[in-house]
Chains A and B, each alone.
Chain A
């Protein structure tokens, strides 16, 4: 099976952007939900979402206040903020537009419809009244596209690079959300003691992990079990460890995959050795910071090994 290096790169980014759009939608949805459940003072402020994306600086250049409206506008409505849903969807579409030759017609139609939907509705999604519907549509439509990847593509390099993009993006988002969530909940301190289970439940919810968690750990939710589940579970497909194991399988059939495999295995080992239960908030943060560097390293190796064309 032939796959152009340039096409492989675009497929990888197609999946990353779609996953990012979906993760942003889920996170926003569960956070909006949370805010409505909690009394003021017991919930984190809206800018926690901006922190998740490390976008404080870019956000600050545009807005003075961390109000709900501004944060929502930044994440849901602006075309030109690199962390917004419209931006991710636009880039996903551009990447499909240039890789249609290796994808099914379905995929193009679904991505194009998602793009048209977002173009039409994003600006009205800022108000809470319309927000749910918008976010649900984005989640459902991206699900549909991921499902089309699963059902309409041969298990070859095309599928492999798409899945790799998704796994990398998911690991990146999962660790970001966990880190920001832990810091925000810690900051609330005693105020939030009574609702801590709810807050952590929300972190799980934002990653579609709540029911799966309950089946593994029961109804009580705290930081240690949440972090253990999201980072280290080998049963839950959205966990970081699960994603890394996927990566190993995805990389194995590719030519010259040794450097990438070595790094993924190293990351896996570090993840395995990390003792979540014993870690303080700072240690968790430190670990995630280092782990994020690993993700960047894996991404760079993938780029150097397979996306390089002669002209560069």
Chain B
């Protein structure tokens, strides 16, 4: 046997997904670790090359904006899977469903009766003055009372391995196609491992998505016409839009393909003439969706779409205005929402959050910047945040000033540890930090993906997992405990 590329590492500071603190494999990871131990570095390099080639040939890509140019990059992938036992996942999955239900009840409430605001559970100004609170949505309630039909929640695991929800992406969460492609690639390059494991399949996602979307249709008599609305080829997630449309057998449309007629129905232009659309899975931000209701200068959207939606002539997922619950200030109140609407205790932990709009919290944050992660309430993709312990004094001062100028716009959280997993970097296997984005579908029913998209910070010690900033990804396995 050739020398192994496996150098067991000890990891006392962070939770490792596959190894114990002493460097032994966790029970669920035993077979995989054994396999890696028995594989030479050359053989691993070959497999990685095969994976890279597969990704390139399958055309799995994402688009990065750099210096005003669009670059289509191959999706970065690490071939060692992350393995989570089904018994643990079950609890996470239940917690996500609970959380999602509460979030949707919240959105429906704030656009209608506003009970939670009147009862003082969530401060009214936090919601009503937020740019995410969309006035054109007030007084409407979509089918099933559900606004955020597709949610991607970001989870991390702290030192003890406990899962925490870091944020809920309720606008247009992306990444699910990479979850599906990662599994495809792993099947092709590590087929042996599948013999020893009973792994929950992920490939029925497009079917589940289609069923959920179909359950939103305003027309129940006929097979609903479902479309995916994309901003176009220059969007960073275009690959995914096309992938999902194809997986569902739905049309992938751009704004110019749709129009709203005087009867408030939405039609798409086809070679057979106009065809009525029932459900729009939109992958375009609220602001650009309808120049009539939101930004007038948007060339991507469809004038009158909100009108059609309010008239109940078309379903839009996620519903416009869902972003009101996707806000880092609102995040702090999710445990309270769960208690308020569901009369249940939260099953999944949230990260303790300091709201800079509150004087006491703000004071604490300003005095402890070097310990905290400061985030703008309203950005995604890991932009505009400060990781206190990793930032210099100048950055601390800059953020102190930003917070004082606009306290509503900032929150702070303790620096949590992010779990690690063995990752094949260059020629050796080393620990790298990761997070997890499962996807939750809610229409007539609620469903959670088994696992989700694991994102990896490929640079040593880095905590930034976003693909736009050098992150990679791994296949995520939910495995039955007893093989």
Report A's interface with B, CB cutoff 8 A. Answer: 2-8, 94, 97-98, 100-103, 105, 108-109, 112-113, 116, 157, 161, 254-255, 306, 308-311
Contact = CB atoms under 8 A, between A and B. Distances in A.
A5 B270 contact: yes
Interface in B253-269: 253-254, 256-257, 259, 268-269
Contacts of B259: 310
22 contacts: A2-B251, A2-B270, A4-B251, A4-B253, A4-B269, A4-B270, A4-B271, A5-B271, A6-B254, A7-B251, A94-B233, A97-B242, A98-B233, A98-B242, A105-B246, A109-B57, A112-B57, A112-B58, A116-B57, A309-B257, A310-B256, A310-B259
B116 interface: no
A255 B272 contact: yes
A307 to B, nearest CB: 8
Contact of A101 (B246, B268, B270, B275): B246
Main secondary structure of the interface of A (DSSP, over half): helix
B273 interface: yes
A31 B67 CA distance: 43
Nearest to A103: B246
A161 B59 CA distance: 24
A128 B338 CA distance: 72
Contact of B269 (A100, A113, A309): A309
B257 A108 contact: no
Interface string B76-104: 00000000000000000000000000000
B225 interface: yes
A309 B259 CA distance: 10
A110 to B, nearest CB: 9
A84 to B, nearest CB: 21
Interface of B: 56-59, 225, 228, 233, 238, 242-243, 245-246, 250-254, 256-257, 259, 268-273, 275
Contacts of A5: 257, 269-271
Contacts of A4: 251, 253, 257, 268-271
A213 B361 CA distance: 87
B271 A255 contact: yes
B256 A6 contact: yes
A4 B225 CA distance: 13
A99 to B, nearest CB: 8
Contacts of A101: 228, 242, 245-246, 250-252
Contact of B275 (A2, A103, A113): A2
Nearest to A108: B59
Contacts of A309: 256-257, 269
Contacts of B58: 109, 112
A176 to B, nearest CB: 29
Contacts of B56: 116
Nearest to B72: A97
Nearest to B299: A311
B242 A100 contact: yes
B420 to A, nearest CB: 34
Nearest to A104: B246
Contacts of B57: 109, 112-113, 116
Contacts of A2: 225, 251, 268, 270, 272, 275
B269 A6 contact: yes
Contacts of A98: 233, 242, 252
Nearest to A254: B271
A78 B254 CA distance: 32
Contacts of A6: 254, 256-257, 269
Contacts of B272: 2-3, 157, 255
Nearest to A111: B59
A112 B254 CA distance: 23
Which residue, A3, A100, A157, A255, has most C-beta atoms of chain B within 10 A? A100
A98 B252 CA distance: 9
A57 B471 CA distance: 48
A104 B300 CA distance: 27
A112 B57 CA distance: 7
For the complex of A and B, list the 9 residue pairs with the smallest distance between their C-beta atoms, beginning with the closest: A101-B245, A101-B252, A309-B269, A112-B59, A100-B242, A311-B256, A306-B271, A101-B246, A5-B269
Nearest to B233: A98
Which residue, A5, A112, A157, has most C-beta atoms of chain B within 10 A? A5
A8 B271 CA distance: 7
Nearest to A94: B233
Which residue, B58, B252, B273, has most C-beta atoms of chain A within 10 A? B252
Contacts of B242: 97-98, 100-101
Contacts of A306: 271
A161 B272 CA distance: 13
A311 to B, nearest CB: 4
A2 B225 CA distance: 10
B178 to A, nearest CB: 16
Given A98-B233, A101-B245, A309-B256, A3 B270 contact: yes
A4 B228 CA distance: 12
Contacts of A310: 256, 259, 269
Contacts of B59: 97, 108-109, 112
Contacts of A116: 56-57
B275 to A, nearest CB: 6
B273 A255 contact: yes
A306 B256 CA distance: 15
B233 A97 contact: yes
